[in-house]
Structure 1
Amino acid sequence: MQTRSKNVIVIVDGWASGRYLAPAFVGRGYDCIHVSSTDKTSHAGYRKSDYIDNFELESSTPSAILERLRGYSIKAIVPGCESGVVLADLLANNFDVPRNDATTTQARRNKYHMIEALRKAGVSSMKQFASESISEILAWYTASELKTVIVKPTMGCRSDGVALCSNAAEIESTLVSNHGKLNVMGVVNTEFVIQERLEGIELMVNSVSCGGDHFVTDMWIGVGGIKNRISTDEYAELIMRGTEIFETVERYVIDMLDAIGVRNGAAHSEVMLTVNGPRLIECGARLTGAQLFAAVEEAQGYSQLSMTVETVLNPGQFRIRADALRKSNQRNLRFVYMCSKSDGYLVNDLDLSQFDQLATLERMIVFPRIGEYLPKTHDTVGRPGYAFLLSDDNQALDMDYLRFRELESKMFQDALDA
């Protein structure tokens, strides 16, 4: 069977959480085209069969891809994950589609320019400095009189290459070990940003925007973790709408999105609620990563994914839909970051059946397979899986969470034992 669609959705780097976009659009009768910006990242979840055509930047040029896309009637161009943000902006600026201005893309991708955009717009932000020079970064650190700082590649993602440093020697060691390294986004690290360490309550905020109008779809608070370590939260809790913390951070995020030029599409923001108010850690102009959207749908009746798809297809209903969703009931949802305390090659299959005893377990995904290497978990890059616990009873969540950790430890150990 052959079809010819008038309105086609273009997805750039439709892997990781972006793998859910094409099936959602296809399920509503739309055809999708995939554009790959790089072959240097993981293509987890990508299925060629979800698309009517596939273009690869590695074997072509942006102008050649644009020429091919002009043969279609394009309804929207959206990034599937972080690596697709820059190219999606570039392509969208050549079509009459909802988009973010490509001239301000760096404010939504480069970790330094992102914070600078806030400063210029008068939105509260952290102290920072960026350079390709180790000596310049060390000189700024000395002059700043800051004690503990965060150092990371300006074009990185997640906790890859990110370090918490308390002296010049640690900063220099971090820069030397990461300079010239290919990061998880397929970008070679050349420039680094050094930022003050924010302290307070860490929050993850997911949103969808339409024509400069913004809606926070879900907000999470990180729980647990190891002091003086990066990204070691044990789990995150869904924050209820109407609470003081939700409303305070929501107001800040809306101002922040305006400042960095997010006018259309999904965004995932990490915010620290300090004693002086919210401060942005960083923001990605794409869907949140590492999330099972079905669990969020079960908890509140919608998710960032469903809101993104509905907004692309019917932008005129955005505000009506957002106002209605604000009144939806929410259930308690716990986003558990799985952890392996041991490392080695898996010699046995992972037995997930033992988790059936947990009444609150809503969704679970585990990545390692037999024969693969399981690293000891120490940050977001190496997490072996995720789970969601859902209930109206917080006590039940607490009990199942403790049992989950026991079963998790046993499962990984059994899979490692010959």
Structure 2
Amino acid sequence: MRSEQVRPVAVLVDAYTSGNHLPPAFARLGVDVVHVQSTPELMTSMRLPDLTAYRAVVPHGTPAETAARLAEFEPICVVAGQEPGVELADELSELLGLPGNGTALSRARRDKYEMIETLRRAGVRCADQLKSGDAEEIVAWAEQRGAYPVVVKPLSSAATEGVAVCRGPVEVRKAAEAVLGTVNIFGERNDEVLVQSFLDGEEYMVDFVSYGGQRHACGIWQYRKRLDGTHRLYDRDSVTEPDAEPAPEIIAYMHEVLDALGIQYGPTHAEVIVTPQGPALVEIGARLSGGVLPDFNDLCLGGNQADMTALAYARPQEFLDRHAGRTYRKLTEASQIFTATTLEGVVDSLDREVIAEIEALDSVHLVVPKLAPGSRIRPTVDLYTATLVVWTRHDSVEVLERDYARIQELAERVYRLHPESEPAA
């Protein structure tokens, strides 16, 4: 069939949220895309894929059925567009005989307990941990260990959903019970909960693209989070210099992590804490970063993870020759800012004048309100309940700091609540 096709085809599995950047990235290289979803229905808890960007949408089926349908397109690759699609992408690429990470360690690339245990078996620095479906067993482990704080979180989630930093048994029990029996953003039931030793140090977001085990570091951003009760809220992240410590140490550590988890192909998004003993993984996703914004990343880093992923699969030799073994460049100071709220109620409208004032600040590249009229606004506990995302860049750190402070002052005024809404207690 390939001889009849003008353009090659890439398969994207569950291209939600930032996965929406992949169709245009492949299109720029002359590659069409086909979408596959890992569930019978689309997951409305995330930003949906724009299905008009695809040559075809393959109905949900068994992996074997799906692979048979996809074979008709003679695809060049299968790529996970977002976290739920990681395991199916591994299986489909294996069934179709395409470059991929294989299925042997697929679970370790999704399940946070298996992820860390796989690192431990490989001798890679990582946290102590326990998983259990019993909150009392989680409490007993924390008490026996005798070193607080500890971190309680779901086995599979994202954006700090359900993550709690606990300083004693009461907080541990409450956090474990808050997770057990719930359903995460990906529609998966939390029948067990994970407790881990607290990794003390600065936290970094680390993005790579790999092909055949050869890698390009797309960006390292230092997280700024603030603790609100047991929740560590995203505040902002700032781009780091790739040639200055701790970036080289983080990059070297990440090669160990990626090798241990069998990630030889595709994009990855990791969170790493640099402890006094050295870098240690918080978690990793075998997919694009949720924060990638291609035009912004191009201006700040000289490239972006979505285009790099498409290049690796569409033109692997070009990727290897131009980018493998190299890193991003820091072209300017830059931050991504997340605003929190204490409001609770229903959004009646957005104050466009306030948004315009934020957009007019010297460093602001893009402002994205996360709530629309009719949406319920709740006090922020994780990334999903943040109210605004603002991308900023400027040559001056002082300008960035000034604009950050003003954004925080204005953020709570962006949303007007329905008159019947009650303020949070």
The residue that corresponds to 2:72 in the other structure is 71
Pair 1:72–1:175, CA change in 2 (3 A): same
Asked if 1:397 corresponds to 2:400, the answer is: yes
Asked if 1:380 corresponds to 2:383, the answer is: yes
The residue that corresponds to 1:289 in the other structure is 290
Contact 1:41 1:184 in 2 (8 A): no
Report the more deviating stretch, 25-34 or 97-106: 25-34
Distance 2:259 2:44 in 1: 29
Contact 1:209 1:215 in 2 (8 A): yes
Contact 1:270 1:283 in 2 (8 A): yes
Distance 1:326 1:195 in 2: 31
The residue that corresponds to 1:50 in the other structure is 53
Structure 2 unmatched ranges of 5 or more? 421-425
Structure 1 vs Structure 2: percent identity of aligned residues?
29
Matches within 5 A, 1:163-312: 163-226=164-227, 229-312=230-313
CA RMSD of aligned residues (A): 2.1
Contact 2:165 2:231 in 1 (8 A): yes
The residue that corresponds to 1:355 in the other structure is 358
Q: Deviations over 1:109-151 (max 9, x none)?
A: 1101111111111111111112334444344333323322111
Contact 2:269 2:287 in 1 (8 A): yes
TM-score (norm 1): 0.92
Distance 2:320 2:372 in 1: 44
Q: Deviations over 1:309-368 (max 9, x none)?
A: 111111112233226964745211011112233222222234122224211111221121
Contact 1:208 1:264 in 2 (8 A): yes
Distance 1:417 1:23 in 2: 42
Residue 395 of structure 1 deviates from its aligned partner by: 1.2
Distance 1:248 1:374 in 2: 40
The residue that corresponds to 1:14 in the other structure is 15
Q: Deviations over 1:33-87 (max 9, x none)?
A: 1111123452414111111221243xx3222212211212110100011111111
Distance 1:411 1:297 in 2: 29
Asked if 1:100 corresponds to 2:107, the answer is: no
Name the SS for the 1:399 alignment partner.
helix
Contact 1:218 1:238 in 2 (8 A): yes
Matches within 5 A, 1:101-116: 101-116=102-117
Q: Deviations over 1:262-321 (max 9, x none)?
A: 100000100111111111100001001133232111112201112111111111122332
The residue that corresponds to 2:423 in the other structure is none
Structure 1 unmatched ranges of 5 or more? none
Asked if 1:340 corresponds to 2:341, the answer is: yes
Contact 1:16 1:290 in 2 (8 A): no
For these two proteins, the number of residue pairs brought into alignment is: 413
Pair 1:22–1:298, CA change in 2 (3 A): same
Distance 2:367 2:129 in 1: 38
- Letter of the 2:397 counterpart: N
The residue that corresponds to 2:63 in the other structure is 62
Report the more deviating stretch, 170-179 or 335-344: 170-179
Name the SS for the 1:11 alignment partner.
strand
Pair 1:41–1:144, CA change in 2 (3 A): farther
Report the more deviating stretch, 146-155 or 325-334: 325-334
- Letter of the 1:52 counterpart: R
Contact 1:6 1:72 in 2 (8 A): no
Name the SS for the 2:104 alignment partner.
helix
TM-score (norm 2): 0.91
The residue that corresponds to 2:411 in the other structure is 408
Asked if 1:371 corresponds to 2:374, the answer is: yes
Name the SS for the 2:341 alignment partner.
coil
Contact 1:6 1:73 in 2 (8 A): no
Q: Which runs of 4+ in 1 moved over 4 A?
A: 414-418
Q: Deviations over 1:74-105 (max 9, x none)?
A: 10100011111111111111123220021111
Distance 2:232 2:177 in 1: 22
